[in-house]
Structure 1
Amino acid sequence: MGIPAVQTKLGKYATQKVNEEFKTDINIGKVGLQLNGDIELKEILIRDYKNDTLISIGELNSSIISFKNLYNSKFNLGDIDIQDLVFNLKTYEGEENTNLDVFVDKFEDDNPRQGPSSFLFSSSDLSIENGIFRLTDENLETPRIFEFTELNANTTNFLINGPDVSSRINKFSFKDSRGITVDNLKANFEYTLDHMNFEDLSIKTEKSELKGGLRFDYQREDLKNFTNKVNVTASFKDSEISLTELNVFFDEFGVNQRASLNADLSGTLNNLEAKNLNVSTTRNTRIIGDITFKNLFAKEDDTFALDGNFQNLASNYNDLTALLPRILGNAIPTVLSKVGNFKITGTSQITSKRINADIEIDTDLGFVKSDLELTEVDDIDRANYIGNIVFDEFDIGKLINDPKAKFVSANLDVDGKGFTLDNLSSNIKGDVFSLEYNGYKYENIEVSGDLGNKIFNGNLIADDPNLQLDFNGLVDFAEEKKKFDFKANVGYANLRVLNFVTRDSISEFRGLVNMTATGSSLDDASGAINIKNTTYENQDSRYVFEDFDIISSFQDDERNITINSPDIINGNIKGKFKTEDILKLVENSVGSIYTNYEPFEIEEGQYIDFKFNIYSKIAAVFFKDLYLGKNTFIEGRIETDAKGFDLTFNSPEIKFKDYFANNINLSVDNSNPLYNTFIEIDTLSAGVYNASDFTLINVTRRDTLLVKTEFKGGKNNKDVFNLNLFYTIDEANKSVIGFRKSDVVFKGYEWFINSEKNNFNKVRFDRTFSAFDIFPITINQGNEIIEVSGIISDSINKNLRVDFKDVELVKITPRIDSLDLAGVVNGKLDLVQKEGSYLPKSNLEISNLFVNDYDLGNLKADIEGNNSITNYLVDVSLVNDNLTSFLAKGTIDVAEKRP
């Protein structure tokens, strides 16, 4: 028995007996057997029914506990060490059972052998070193399902009892051909004809650790349809999973993420229910609830479904779609990327064709509740939907990128498609409880109609304390050519409270607006606007307008705009023009007569003919104290040609507050060789000073506009003004206005401006009227001189100065009854502003001061103010014949109520 050849022959005899009894193909190349029962088997080969390798073992070392049992097909072994194991589990082409199924069937009761199987294989400790396990199905497009290499394992209490297998797996490590390495798998393993169980399961990989239990229940014939027939029961607690590794088995997860997992699983792999699911990812996504996954591993396309009942789904768009990029990325509209972090509760059913969502969403922008059915979800941003959506204090402005819009609360039924502004096309009906827009919170709005990207066609009724509105019709900004076809009955609109008007403290509008028009801009707009029974009330008055029509039409490329209102304005505009160029046309027409003028670049060939009668009522709406007399009209023509500017304005009367002018006639004609502008006014009143017989005429000579104006003023019109001015544009494209030699008779004294006819006496300024240079303007009567000069840099920096030299006081003070002043003024007045702070200063001396013929002597006043013009340092003295009759030095503060 100690001879190896004899031992090998006995081993072959034993395997032959097994092969004969069970019709198997088991071969052992060499057998080594010691007297103490230790056995060494080499070159073990088990062939399958296709004569291919099922199991091969390079070397197996163990000990035989009972030779008698071995003879009776009961392999009671001690410790088993297996080296170089190869296990090929294969389903052949056209077959349903694996080669292992066929092999195991040979030991079952349906074997021709009568009676139950007596096959027994047991070991107290089984170790495998450097094994290979392959799973192959030749009926698949890719036959090799997976391959485990570098397989090392250790089990205890290993038992094969007929078709049943059980063991405690202490160690099980391998490399998967799909790229994952299992560092260790531990479990209490059990395999029978109807179930396979992994109790106390622990699986560790490089990046994952799974803890719990796993059980498969099946009928033997179900194994060939594992994903649909085999029932899975599992419970995982306190597990950590790498989604990158999980993609080896289900390639739908994001990468470079980890998740903690607690869940109870049941069902088949293609109908798998996860209850008590609690998932937290490293990207701060938290999922608590119950989810059923259908057709996770289905061969057919577009059969996947997810049915979720969420107690808490906390995440944001980027993190959640990164968890399952294809499944959730295609199911969640991109508009959710704008709501920030959110928490979802409720139920949702997701398939490749349809989504049902009855959920509540608490977001960074506010609360949303939706009960929607979505279809055509393969392009989720263009999906169709029907159902109900509720907003509660939701910041709609951030969602649609409109800074004027803020929080909305609404309950809307929706039926349409599209989740982005570009794709939106939906019928909506419901209530808007509140909406903050332009700084006002609207309330009680009913809406019903079609809503799209910059389009609304339907009915909107507002019952807000500050807006009573019934709107019915179309407003369409979607196309390049906008469309308007609506009626709006404005019962009441407080434009001041609604923040559309800020100038008036009261601004209330009522009226009926009917508009039918199209156009991409004001330049090609055509149609009609009719406003009826309109009232406008501000703090000054209540204005009633019965009817107002604006009609715009085109004949070829000439435009005609007619405005007709007996209360506002009547007239028309005709021509070829762009609205944005009208003011530029006017400025170019005036400025182009100067060589240095740089005209605005505008399209050539534009012209405007216009004529309007203007009524006082409309003027008062925009300027509360403005009144225009009857028959006020303006007409003229503007062309791109430099000489194509013709304007006539006539009004019998214009009033503004305490100012008024009578019989105003203005005529402008750039083509007139005698004059360009002529103005004539009968009387003028400026409150403190009145004038009459005002005329102004100008003409252009050698790139300079020469202006001559004459008028009378003062008491009994005894003051006479004869002013000669000029206007030009210098090489720096700045405007220059100045005085040629002019004379003024004031209080019977004749004064001259620029009597020396020099190049000073002018003011230079830019187009924005923000910066001014005042060159010395000299006014004199003989040796009496007043000089004005200074610089204005901007609205907060200026330096202005007035100098007096030997000026008689009586000649420059206004006429005041019962007050006669006399004396000679010398000195200066300075007004300085630096960065908004004023620094006024005066140094004046009045010698021989007389008041009503009473000699007061010489007055000297030095006064300097602070930056608020409320505190002054004063040094004032009055000296007569060397006697100081008045002296004041110190500070005067006028900031307080009692200075």
Structure 2
Amino acid sequence: MFPKVQTLVAKQVTNSVNNTYGTDINIEKIGINSKGEVVVDGVYIADHHKDTLIYVHSVRTTILSFRNLLKTNLNFGDLTLTDAKLYVKTHKGEEKDNLSIFSKKFAPKVPLEDPEPFILEASTLQLENTLIKITDENLENPDVLIMDAVNLSTGHFEILDINVFADIKHLQFLYNNEIKVEGLSADFKYTEDLIQLNQLDLKTSESNVEADVILYFDESGFSDFTNNVVFEADFKNASVATNDLNYFYDEFGKNQRIDFSGKLDGPLNNLSLTSLNLQNQTTNIQGDFVFKDLLKDGSVYEIEANNHKINSNYFDLRRFMPNILGNLLPKELQQLRDFSFNGTTKITGTNLDTDLEVNSALGLVKTKLKMGSIDNVNQASYKGNVDLRKFNLGKLLGVNSLGTTTAKLQFDGKGFSQETINTALSGKIKNFVFNDYNYTNIDVKGTLENPIFNGELSIKDPNLKLDFDGLIDVSEDRNIYDFDLQIEYADLYNTNIFKRDSISIFTGKIGMDMQGTNVDDVKGVIRISESTYQNLIDDYYFDDILILSTFDEDERTIQIISPDVVSGKLTGNYLLKD
């Protein structure tokens, strides 16, 4: 085709479209190359501000109906666009983007009974080295999306008025100059109120996502993406690299993979995630979740998890989100090793409300509690109840003399570490291991602080029946005992309190103010009254005994004052256990 004819045809085509629809479209020339393909060079479309909307260096097609081309029905065979550019822009002070405004030019100004639609369709579509840029000049950061080095291959492709349909076979591009999408296929649909990608298969160098995705939006388009664009997605099989996620939210640990399936529904600031099954390292998370205002500056965010099942450990969670969970989780959780959290949990800002079952290497915990200041766990407040089943409290608190506990307790306090715990406790302890003896049938009411117990105990154990009122401090190297006891029965040998005599039975009243870890290093005062003591030799009865234990460097003095029994003292360097 001669150049003059090529230019004439180009003008006829553009004039027909521009006069009919009020558009600003220019084509340099239309011709036929040596392969018999129709070639359209220099396609330029301006938006309503005379800015570039679309530019294509070269368009090639195998079939072109000139009769339809002069109308509004553009029927192509195989269609190839080289070095194309699409600039979708929302201009300053406007609500709609220029592509939406341009597309609506093809809609009839006056509704017709049987309007003739604008149609552009091709058997296949190829994009080579294309740039797509979406900007909004009303935003602080105008760049919404940049897709560079776009290469696209489709099956059937169609534009019907303002709607776009494409069978995407292969798409690759560089996303916002950061993430290279190596492959994407989908059944694609774009209308004035949605973008749909059915049977989506997306691959980067590290990630792979298979899903059905729909994005719904109103007339404002993507201007308020986090609040107005509604996601509806079914992730069937997804494996996402944290290196890719860090582009969107830079709080994930590097070089990790997250495998998951589930369904998304809602805008990013009010997002529901149901039927989630997520795996990261040895961490597995299942359940239904709602995320509110996570991306809204200055707002109190909310996370709600229903019927969740979380299996993980302290180190995995720290590696997953080092800056957030690394600062949030108390080091004492290391002792849980691998654990499971099952139940329902709601987090609002720094507050937590949960009905939870925790199973770990330390034992089983069931709890209903409300917490505050969860961003500073060592000072966090909490109130609720707990059901402990063979739970190793000593390992959690780092106190060797404490062992496993089975109990149902109510609590109200703050702090989790040995240094910060200050909690009011009440309830029933089924069993409690202390100094390698398993005490049973205990009622408790008091406070636990640092960890000092100050309160009341009633024990109905086979080897110990007593009522306790006072303080026990096992937080330091030398324990502190300051309490009054009414002892109905105490087997001192079986409870590992006094191991010299295999028979060592005591009853009576005791007032104690002492410090130490065993009978050979304690110092202080014990007052015993209305008491009996039985050993292998005899039974002893006494009304009042005062025992004082003191140390002068390595020399020890034990003084006994008892008008009913004996008075005296023993001074020297010795061990009672001998």
Matching residue of 1:512: 509
CA deviation profile, 1:184-222 (whole Å, cap 9, x unmatched): 100011112232211111111111111121112333345
Q: Which residue of 2 aligns with 1:294?
A: 292
The correspondence of residues 789-828 of structure 1 with structure 2, limited to 5 A, is none
Residues 508 and 24 (structure 1), Cα distance of their counterparts in 2 relative to 1, 3 Å cut: same
The residue identity in structure 2 corresponding to 1:506 is I
Query: In structure 2, the residue corresponding to 1:207 is in which secondary structure?
Result: coil
Partners of 1:612 and 1:377 lie apart in 2 by 51
Which residue number in structure 2 is paired with residue 502 of structure 1?
Answer: 499
Q: Any residues of structure 2 matched to 1:155-194 within 5 Å, and which?
A: 155-194=154-193
Q: Distance in 2 between matches of 1:549 and 1:118?
A: 107
SS of the equivalent of 1:398 reads helix
Residue type of the alignment partner of 1:258: R
Contact 1:37–1:65, Cα closer than 8 Å, also in 2: no
> Could you say if the C-alpha distance between residues 58 and 230 of structure 1 is closer, same or farther in structure 2, counting changes exceeding 3 Å?
same
Mapped partners of 1:126, 1:222: distance in 2? 26
Which residue of the partner structure matches residue 402 of structure 2?
A: 405
Contact kept, 8 Å, 1:117 with 1:162, in 2: the verdict is no
Q: Tell me how far 1:129 sits from its aligned partner.
A: 0.9
Code of the residue aligned with 2:460 in structure 1: it is D
Q: Counterparts of 2:570 and 2:332 in 1: how far apart (Å)?
A: 53
Q: Distance in 2 between matches of 1:293 and 1:20?
A: 50
Query: Displacement of 1:479 after TM fit?
Result: 9.7
Going from structure 1 to structure 2, the CA distance change for 1:213 and 1:633 (only over 3 Å counts) comes to closer
Aligned equivalents of 2:412 and 2:569: distance in 1? 54
Shift of 1:277: 1.5
Which of the pair has more CA radius of gyration?
Answer: 1
SS at match of 1:183: strand
For 1:521-580, what per-residue CA distance to the aligned partner results, in whole angstroms no more than 9, with x for missing partners?
xxxx99975432232221111222322346xxxxxxxxxxxx6xxxxxxxxx9xxxx935
CA distance in 2 between counterparts of 1:294 and 1:67 reads 54
Aligned to 1:545: 542
* Contact 2:269/2:296, CA 8 A, preserved across alignment: no
Count of matched residue positions in the alignment of Structure 1 and Structure 2: 569
| 2: CA distance, partners of 1:111 / 1:421 | 77
Residues 1:31 and 1:462: Cα distance change in structure 2 (over 3 Å): same
Aligned 8 A contact 1:37 1:64 in 2: no
Matching residue of 2:519? none
Q: Which residue identity does 1:461 align to in structure 2?
A: S
Structure 1 stretches of at least 4 aligned residues deviating more than 6 Å after TM superposition: 34-37, 111-115, 477-484, 516-519, 525-528, 610-619, 631-635
317 and 416 in structure 1: CA distance in 2 versus 1, 3 angstrom threshold = same
Give the conservation status (yes or no) of the 8 Å contact 2:84–2:131.
Answer: yes
2:426 counterpart residue number: 429
User: Which residue of 1 is the match for residue 47 of structure 2?
Assistant: 48
Please give the alpha-carbon distance, in whole angstroms, between the structure 2 residues aligned to 1:454 and 1:580.
29
- Partners of 2:287 and 2:470 in 1: how far apart? 46
Question: Which secondary structure state, in structure 2, belongs to the residue aligned with residue 279 of structure 1?
Answer: strand
Look up the match of 2:223: 224
Cα distance in 2 between the residues matched to 1:359 and 1:517: 40
Cα separation, partners in 2 of 1:53 and 1:448, compared to 1, 3 Å = same
For 1:187 and 1:498, locate their aligned partners in 2 and report how far apart those are by CA, in whole Å: 72
Q: CA deviation at 1:477?
A: 6.9
The unaligned stretches of length 5 or more in structure 2 are 517-521
Encode CA deviations 1:733-755: one digit per residue, 9 max, x unaligned: xxxxxxxxxxxxxxxxxxxxxxx
- CA spacing shift, 1:533–1:613, aligned 2, 3 Å: closer
Deviation of residue 170 (structure 1)?
A: 0.6
- What corresponds to 1:284 in structure 2? 282
Q: 1:323 to 1:612 in 2, by over 3 A?
A: closer
Q: Deviations over 1:87-117 (max 9, x none)?
A: 2222233333222222223223458999846
> How do 1:316-355 residues align onto structure 2 when only pairs under 5 Å count?
316-325=313-322, 328-329=325-326, 332-355=329-352
Aligned residue identity for 2:24: D
- The answer on whether the counterparts of 2:332 and 2:397 sit within 8 Å (CA) in structure 1 is no
Alignment of 1:27-38 (within 5 A): 27-33=26-32, 38=37
- Higher RCO, Cα 8 Å, sep 6+: 2
Asked whether the equivalents of residues 543 and 564 of structure 2 are also in contact (C-alpha less than 8 Å), the reply is no
1:460 lines up with 2:432 in the alignment: no
| Residues in 1 aligned to 2:568 and 2:404: alpha-carbon distance in whole angstroms | 48
Sequence identity, in percent? 35
Deviations 1:107-143 (A, max 9, x none): 2345899984632111111111111122223333332
> Which AA in structure 2 matches 1:174?
F
Task: Give the 3 Å change call, closer, same or farther, for CA 252–113 of structure 1 in structure 2.
Answer: farther
Structure 1 position 152, deviation (Å): 0.7
Q: What is the letter of the counterpart of residue 257 of structure 1? A: Q
SS of residue paired to 2:187:
strand
**SS in structure 1 at match of 2:64:** coil
Structure-2 change in CA distance of 1:158 and 1:531 (3 Å): same
Q: Is residue 544–residue 563 contact of structure 2 (8 Å, CA) maintained in 1? A: no
Contact 1:200 1:213 in 2 (8 A): yes
Instruction: Identify the residue that residue 579 of structure 1 maps to in structure 2.
Output: 551
Q: In the alignment, is residue 532 of structure 1 matched against residue 529 of structure 2?
A: yes
Matched, 1:313 2:310: yes
Alignment CA distance shift 1:507-1:78 (3 Å):
same
Equivalences for 1:245-256 in 2 at 5 Å? 245-256=244-255
Measured in 2, the distance between the counterparts of 1:278 and 1:611 equals 66
1:349–1:356 Cα contact (<8 Å) kept: yes
Change (3 A) 1:385 1:613: closer
Query: C-alpha separation between the residues in 1 aligned to 2:472 and 2:498?
Result: 23
What is the letter of the counterpart of residue 31 of structure 2? G
Secondary structure of 1:13's match? helix
- 2:71 match: 72
Contact 2:206/2:240 (<8 A) preserved:
yes
Cα gap change, 1:367 to 1:178, in 2 (>3 Å): farther
Partner Cα distance (1:25, 1:318) in 2: 60
Please state if 1:364 is matched with 2:364.
no
Q: Secondary structure at the match of 1:501?
A: coil
Paired with 2:62 and 2:359, the residues of 1 have a C-alpha distance of 68
Report the residue type matching 2:555 in the other structure.
L
Q: 1:17 aligns to what? A: 16
CA distance, structure 2, for counterparts of residue 100 and residue 421 of structure 1: 63
Q: 1:210 to 1:618 in 2, by over 3 A?
A: farther
Deviation at 1:294, TM superposition (A): 2.3
- Could you state the TM-score of these two structures normalised by the residue count of structure 1? 0.58
* C-alpha distance after superposition, 1:600-651 (max 9, x if no partner): xxxxxxxxxx9978779978xxxxxxxxxxx97889xxxxxxxxxxx9xxxx
**Aligned partners of 1:145, 1:539: CA distance in 2, in Å?**
88
Cα distance in structure 2, aligned partners of 1:185 and 1:632 = 93
Residue 489 of structure 1 corresponds to 486
Amino acid in the other structure paired with 2:302? A
**Cα distance change on mapping 1:322 and 1:360 into 2, 3 Å:** same
1:19 offset after TM fit, Å?
2.4
Distance 2:569 2:218 in 1: 101
Is 1:470 aligned to residue 462 of structure 2?
no
CA deviation map 1:846-872 (0-9, x unaligned): xxxxxxxxxxxxxxxxxxxxxxxxxxx
Conservation of the 8 A alpha-carbon contact between 2:546 and 2:562: no
> Deviations along 1:826-882, whole A, 9 cap, x unmatched?
xxxxxxxxxxxxxxxxxxxxxxxxxxxxxxxxxxxxxxxxxxxxxxxxxxxxxxxxx
Offset from partner CA, 1:158-183 (integer Å, 9 cap, x none) = 10010111010011001223522111
1:224 Cα offset (Å): 3.0
Aligned partners of 1:331 and 1:350 also within 8 Å: no
Aligned letter for 1:365?
L
Give the deviation of 1:391 after TM superposition.
0.9
C-alpha spacing 1:549/1:91, structure 2 compared with 1 (3 Å):
farther
Measured after TM superposition, the shift of residue 68 of structure 1 is 1.7
* Per-residue Cα deviation, 1:353-399 (whole angstroms, up to 9, x for no partner): 21122111121221111111111222123211111111111222222
Equivalent residue of 2:224, what SS?
Answer: helix
